[in-house]
Amino acid sequence: MADKILKKLNIKVWRQNRASEKGKFETYKIENVSTGSSFLEMMDILNNDLIEKGIDPIAYDHDCREGICGICSLYINGRPHGPDTEVTTCQLHMRKFKEGETIVIEPWRAAAFPVIKDLVVDRIAFEKILQAGGFVSVNTGGVPEANSIPVAYDDAEESMDAASCIGCGACVAACKNSSAMLFVSAKISHLAKLPQGKIEAKQRARNMVAKMDELGFGGCTNTGACEVECPKSISITNIARLNREYLVARISE
């Protein structure tokens, strides 16, 4: 458990200066990284090295570094968020890597998530899906007293399981079809499991699915890759619920 020093690592990373330019892999060496460092601290060290050598540092999204904001989005050694389970890239630690290893880092690859620069992708498509219906239509003020709407313990827990989605996009990156079904279904379940959200459930399912299809995400073929890579363990049973909600919505049209 005591931290060790990884003397040498090779970092093979996707470099692309702009959306409009072509990208390619570059390999950099990095030395003396503590196994107690986080993956992104390793990236900070590498970037400071690059700056000192006069090379433009690698752009990547990161913010809270506590695994909750969902902005970090690296595809590491062929896996979204890298070789650990139930973590985001920012919680991945260097103890998961071996001395001398070549670590391959790519951006999320999906038609709906175009690259902005290097490892930074544009996830505005997720925003648009949520804007299409991922809410309860209540204004501020004039709402009932909180305890006047009891919610069964298990329903609240199931809702919370789905609401844990951080909107990172690992599900899309992991899916061979680049499907956003896990992401969409998490929002559908979060709200459908609560009495407050039930009222608009049909409309919500219809609008969000239509928007998802329009934005170029692929269809779901039930491979389950999304669930495996989801840092928050969002279950694919949510997709079953979404299909059910969607079917009901279409039948009742």
Partner 1 sequence: MSILESKIPEGPLAEKWNKHKASIKVVSPANKRKLEVIVIGTGLGGASAAASLAELGYKVKSFCYQDSPRRAHSIAAQGGINAAKNYQNDNDSVFRLFHDTIKGGDYRSREANVYRLAEVSPNIIDQCVAQGVPFGREYGGLLANRSFGGVLVSRTFYARGQTGQQLLIGAYQALNRQISKGNVEMYNRHEMLDVVKIDGKARGIVARDLITGEIKRFGAHAVVVASGGYGNVFFLSTMAMGSNGSAAWQCYKKGAFMANPSFVQIHPTCIPVHGDQQSKLTLMSESLRNDGRVWVPKKSEDAKKLQSGEIGANDISEEDRDYYLERRYPSYGNLVPRDVASRAAKERCDEGYGVNSEGKAVFLDFRDAIERLGKNVIEARYGNLFQMYEKITDVDPYKQPMMIYPAIHYSMGGTWVDYNLMSTIPGLYSIGEANFSDHGGNRLGASALMQGLADGYFILPYTIGDYLADEIMTPKTDVSAPEFEEVEKEVIGRLEKLYNIKGTKTVDYFHKKLGQVMWDHAGMSRNAEGLTKAISMIQEIRKDFWKDVKVTGEMDNLNPELEKASRLADFLDIGELMVRDALNRNESCGGHFREESVTEDGEAKRDDKNFANASCWEFKGETEEPVLHIEDLVFENVKLTQRSYK
37 versus 185: smaller Cβ distance to partner 1:
37
Contacts of 109 (CB under 8 A, 6+ apart): 75, 173, 178
User: What is the smallest separation between the CB atom of 126 and partner 1, expressed in angstroms?
Assistant: 7
Which of 13, 33, 76, 110 is the binder for partner 1 (CB under 8 A)?
33
Stretch that binds partner 1, among 68-76, 175-183, 217-225, 242-250 (CB under 8 A): 68-76
Which of 124, 216, 244, 250 is the binder for partner 1 (CB under 8 A)?
124
> Which residue from 126, 103, 123, 120 is spatially nearest to 23, judged by alpha carbons?
120
Footprint (CB under 8 A) of partner 1, residues 183-212? 190-191, 193-194, 196-197
The secondary structure element, H or E, covering residue 12 is strand 5-15
Footprint (CB under 8 A) of partner 1, residues 213-252? none
Structure tokens at 214: 């329009």
User: What is the smallest separation between the CB atom of 2 and partner 1, expressed in angstroms?
Assistant: 7
Footprint (CB under 8 A) of partner 1, residues 81-120? 84, 86-87, 91, 93, 95, 116-117, 120
- Letter for the amino acid at 219? G
Chain centre to alpha carbon of residue 71: 7
Only one residue has tokens 């399912």, namely: 205
- Letter for the amino acid at 167? G
